[in-house]
Structure 1
Amino acid sequence: MSRLPGPGPLPPGIAESYWMATASAAPRAGPLTSDTEVDVAVVGGGIAGLSTAWELIEAGRSVAVLEADRLAAGVSGYTTAKVTALHTFVYDKLRRTRGAEAARLYARSQQEAVERVAEVAAALHVDCELERVPAFVYATDPARRPDVQAEAEAAREAGLAASYTEETGLPFPVAGAVRVEDQAQFHPRRYLLALADDIRERGGFLYERTRVTGLSEGTPCRLTTENGASVTAREVVVATHYPVFDRALLFTRLSPRRELVVAAVIPAGDDPGGMYITDEERTRSVRTAPYGEDRLLIVTGEHFTPGTGDTAERFARLAAFTTEHFPRAAILHHWAAQDNDPTDTVPLVGPFHPGAEHTYVATGFGGWGMSGGVMAGRLLTELIVGRALPSWAGLYDPRRLVSTLREAPAFLKHQATVGRHFVGDRLRTTHVDSAADIPPGGGAVVRLGGRRCAVHRHEDGTLHAVSARCTHLGCLVAFNAAERTWECPCHGSRFAVDGTVLQGPATRPLEVRAVEED
């Protein structure tokens, strides 16, 4: 009988984010156990949620933050942690699709976010390893040189301290690069936990292990949680990375992607001196962080849709890139991160939907959540408090219409991908013929009793089965052997092998199914 291959080998080192491993693991708060009332309830305890809550506390509002897991332990705990206004090739695209003024507003809002991080870190005396360094977008293919030159020109016209160069600190030649001065990198979890502590010390409420499952909009609004307790608030901010409520249909304008990360210690003399990214080779991003007398090299890339392809093989390619170009690198950590790309490039921050009066959303940061989350905190606070809005507020309004020329191609591509999984996955008779085909540590979708089930075989040989239908909108999940998770390729929900929700937009677990060895 043929069997699925077992999980492939992973890079050496700890399978955990370096940021998570080197910041306090102690919980900041317990779960919500009784009904409470505040001015503003913020759903989500990552950089967008905590930045919004902190800015609202500064503005004199009472705030509660509700986090499904641990604060700063979701996407924000697994980021590359670049705080920059240089977002790959965004400025030339914005200049062409939305005009030069939109590019200027985008640059201004993102650079202001960079400065806000530095300002807040200094005010709170946070030891978050904040460093001001240049950021680079580069290409190695000479045919891409005109693209790089156009991006440098567009970024400079947008108001950034941008220049074109063919010299970088990378240990390999580039065809061209955009360089932007005075950007930042930091330890994101230390920064965010400092924000959380300051929120609590100033009277804010923090709730961990509190998954929000319902939202009733009104005057006031009401949030319900899976343990039955509720929060009543005049205003609600949904900052869960991917919105956990579908009433705005934002899932039609967001496409999820995962990227892999390896972190390796290198001699200080091998530091390339800046933050680098290219969209070649399915993305390659390079930066360093303090590591005693050495430096920690952080390499990110191999982006892919959740639930598709061989993650172990992708890790192998990323590790090979790292050791090829940095031969003295010793890999210490590896992990994965997840982001959501908006179909028109720009994040969605503002009123939740066209009829919303007291609900707001922050999502679609496209891999640039550090600056984007801080920007969102400032913008949402101005909207809620009723102060004069920054000049760039309208750029991010989620209620903006889909533009046929600007957004429709990406929109239609995303919907075609979702449709292919939603329909195509069901046309297959099964993903494997039998649970007996699943090796220890592996998983697959198997038809059991006429129903498709997601079956995982533990290392001891025992089987565990759950429903294969994602509880968000019903797409079939797929097994990620490298991370031992079930993932939805349609909208990015992730589940543990026992069906527990790891990442939304799903809020309900996969139902447990009975399974026996064939």
Structure 2
Amino acid sequence: MLASSSRTFDLAVVGAGIFGLSIAREAMEAGLRVVVLEAGTLGSGASGGLLGALMPHMPARWNPKKQFQFDALTSIGGHLARLEAETGLSAGYRACGRILPIVSEERLDHHRERSAEAAERWVLQGRELRYDLEPCGARADWLAPEAAPFGLVHETLAARVAPRAYLAALAEALRHPAPQSTGGVPLTAAMLLEDHAVTGFDPANGQILVDGRESGIVAEQIVLTAGFRSFHLLQQVTGQAIGRGEKGQALLLDGQGLEDRPAVYCDGLYVVPHDDGTVAVGSTSERHEETTHVDMAATDDLLTRARAFCPALEGRQVLERWAGVRPRCNKRDPLVGRVPGQERMLVATGGFKISFGIAHRIAEALVDTATGRSGRITLPDSFRPEHHFA
């Protein structure tokens, strides 16, 4: 064990996005002393975006990854209800469902098959999950009929959160935890440190390096949750480049009166209404771009395309344009577990477009690994470090 001091922790979490804050809360509830170090401000990376779309994979070619995501999406409502009750803050969750246009006879046959597979795979006791086919012209006040000449899909597994509100609720839970965990363990508030760019970790003495210098912060274990920047830190340690950043851009529009509408996925874009009277539209995927400047032409194109299939967006004011860099592993699936050859270093990154929907389950699995507890969550093999590292 390391020497005890006010700057000594059981777990240092590097990055205050959705993975980092979720893991910190789970670790705190397990009775660990936790510090979170963020290079910027809480949620200033890709997690601080606009969409908050919790969208399932298609039920075809079922595999452990899809089962993991299904279990996460069907449990997140209860998880967030507990977080909201604890903090008094809303995470903006709603099981809003999703509609998808059908543009050809071939795609109609495809979705008939998906509907049958959803009836087999999307099974949840106590809640009816649907994957219904509706005729052309259905929901014409939301999806333009010409965008869906062969009808549309309406599925009810999809949901959404308000990303920044979810992060704020997690931060509040870390700063002001309940008096004790559900297991009766007294909880110690986590320390949240902004403007602390972690540049290294000395496994011999547990010293955290910030901006290239010893910080005086010591940890038994460290977990990298710094989004795409985690890949650069991992490369320093392992010599392997296993992922990259991929830029995405989105818009926020005035959406008064649209709060109860389902999300729409059309023309490669999501349109996601939120409870606060806004609608998020996005996003782009720029595979070899790691900057966060907003490209006005690209976001204008997003708006033009979205208005073409969602006529209710016409004339609505643009409230914000956003750009961020999302972490994407070279092997596509998230990376979660202990870094090979590093007994005191763990990592959770690469959620890409599904991070918000699975973060609470990733947190449980990662904290089980850190504490040596029997796994409550079975990670897909494709999430594990041995899948990603040579």
TM-score (norm 1): 0.61
Deviation at 1:261, TM superposition (A): 1.2
Match of 1:368 among 346, 349, 354: 354
Cα distance in structure 1, aligned partners of 2:315 and 2:376: 47
Answer 1 or 2: higher relative contact order, Cα 8 Å, separation at least 6. 2
Q: 2:83·2:173 contact (CA, 8 Å) conserved in 1?
A: no
Q: 1:382 to 1:396 in 2, by over 3 A?
A: farther
The residue aligned with 2:170 is 195
Cα distance in structure 1, aligned partners of 2:50 and 2:88: 22
Match of 1:304 among 256, 263, 286: 286
Match of 1:181 among 156, 161, 168: 156
The residue aligned with 1:331 is 318
Cα distance in structure 2, aligned partners of 1:297 and 1:105: 28
Deviation at 1:134, TM superposition (A): 1.4
Cα distance in structure 2, aligned partners of 1:132 and 1:371: 12
Q: 1:303 to 1:38 in 2, by over 3 A?
A: same
State the identity %.
20
Deviation at 1:394, TM superposition (A): 4.1
Give 3-state SS (helix, strand or coil) of 2:71's partner.
Answer: helix
- The aligned amino acid for 1:258 is K
Q: 1:237 to 1:402 in 2, by over 3 A?
A: closer
Give 3-state SS (helix, strand or coil) of 2:387's partner.
Answer: coil
Give 3-state SS (helix, strand or coil) of 1:381's partner.
Answer: helix
Per mean C-alpha deviation after superposition, the further-off stretch among 101-110 and 186-195 is 101-110
Deviation at 1:64, TM superposition (A): 0.3
Give 3-state SS (helix, strand or coil) of 1:132's partner.
Answer: coil
Q: 1:121·1:191 contact (CA, 8 Å) conserved in 2?
A: no
Match of 1:290 among 250, 272, 275: 275
Q: 1:38 to 1:273 in 2, by over 3 A?
A: same
Q: 2:246·2:289 contact (CA, 8 Å) conserved in 1?
A: no
Q: Give per-residue Cα distances to partners, 1:403-441, cap 9 Å, x unaligned.
A: 9xxxxxxx9xxxxxxxxxxxxxxxxxxxxxxxxxxxxxx
Q: Which has the higher strand share?
A: 1
- The aligned amino acid for 1:36 is R
Give 3-state SS (helix, strand or coil) of 1:400's partner.
Answer: helix
Q: 1:205 to 1:80 in 2, by over 3 A?
A: same
Q: 1:384 to 1:189 in 2, by over 3 A?
A: same
Match of 1:163 among 116, 124, 131: 131
Give 3-state SS (helix, strand or coil) of 1:390's partner.
Answer: coil
Cα distance in structure 1, aligned partners of 2:314 and 2:246: 29
Cα distance in structure 2, aligned partners of 1:212 and 1:142: 53
Cα distance in structure 1, aligned partners of 2:105 and 2:297: 28
Give 3-state SS (helix, strand or coil) of 1:133's partner.
Answer: coil
Q: What is the aligned length?
A: 353
The residue aligned with 1:222 is 207
The residue aligned with 1:318 is 302
Cα distance in structure 1, aligned partners of 2:172 and 2:197: 21
Q: Does 1:261 align with 2:250?
A: yes
Q: 1:214 to 1:379 in 2, by over 3 A?
A: same
Q: 1:44·1:240 contact (CA, 8 Å) conserved in 2?
A: yes
Match of 1:358 among 340, 344, 347: 344
Q: 1:124 to 1:151 in 2, by over 3 A?
A: farther
Q: Give per-residue Cα distances to partners, 1:288-344, cap 9 Å, x unaligned.
A: 1134xxx32211133222449993332221121234432242222211233233344
Cα distance in structure 2, aligned partners of 1:206 and 1:191: 16
Give 3-state SS (helix, strand or coil) of 2:47's partner.
Answer: helix
C-alpha root-mean-square deviation of aligned residues, in Å?
Answer: 3.2
Cα distance in structure 2, aligned partners of 1:327 and 1:85: 25
The residue aligned with 1:124 is 87
Higher CA-based Rg? 1
Q: Give per-residue Cα distances to partners, 1:34-67, cap 9 Å, x unaligned.
A: 9921000000011111111111111111000000
Cα distance in structure 2, aligned partners of 1:288 and 1:233: 41
The residue aligned with 2:47 is 76
Give 3-state SS (helix, strand or coil) of 1:303's partner.
Answer: coil
